[in-house]
Amino acid sequence: MTLRFLRLLACQLLLAFACAHAQAQAADIVDITHAHIDATEDGYRLAASYEFELNQELELAIQHGVQLYFTTEIELTRPRWYWTDDRAVSTYQTIRISYNVLTRQYHVLIKSGTQGSVQQSFPTLDDAMVLIHRPSRWLIAKRGELKPGETYNVTLRMFMDREHLAKPIQVNAFNNADWRLSSKDKKFTYRAE
């Protein structure tokens, strides 16, 4: 009886480890290859590049009319010795990719937090994905929001946002590893100008 119980326990532990390992691999597919902040006349802009590939299931979903959303979150904090870190900036940018069957065009809509949105159309999925892999520099903070000369800790993350999917698709997306695209937090420091 105890030998049978130990075998069953060992099988369950191996299965749990295999599932956890598969989820960990699937969750870290997006690689942030480049990220830096530039000071411009109107404020501070983030320039970033991402490297990832859509799997076959996600490509098929787009071609059947499912809209996918990719969100980039950035947070700038200023360390303080006497209290918790001061959160200077916390913002996000969401990019939506969709396919119109009638026009046979891929549409990419970029929406940044409180700023407006921009939409472009592309003939192929590869062309549309270039805008997601290398989005234009977006304004993360207006001039005056950061103190010149101060050093800020920057945390950047990019992921496929399953919260924006239609409810019936969310059920499948939350339970399926193919619908998990996410990067690890990229941390670096920035000295405001």
Per-residue pLDDT reduced to its tens digit, 47-89? 999 999 999 999 999 999 999 999 999 999 998 888 888 899 9
**Predicted pLDDT at 112:** 80
Pick the more confident residue, 16 or 172: 172
Per-residue pLDDT at 24 exceeds 50: no
Radius of gyration of the chain (CA): 21
Share of the chain above pLDDT 70, in %: 84
**Predicted pLDDT at 7:** 57
**Predicted pLDDT at 134:** 93
- Going by C-alpha positions, the residue among 108, 106, 103, 100 that lies closest to residue 124 is 106
Is the four-CA dihedral 75, 108, 61, 169 of positive or negative sign? Answer: positive
- Going by C-alpha positions, the residue among 44, 49, 64 that lies closest to residue 150 is 44
Is the four-CA dihedral 74, 142, 44, 95 of positive or negative sign? Answer: positive
**Predicted pLDDT at 3:** 62
Query: Is the whole-model pTM more than 0.85?
Result: no
Q: How far is CA 79 from CA 82, 84, 145, 152, in A?
A: 9, 7, 16, 7
Q: Are 47 and 36 in contact (CB under 8 A)?
A: yes
**Predicted pLDDT at 28:** 47
**Predicted pLDDT at 20:** 46
DSSP-derived 3-state class of residue 17: helix
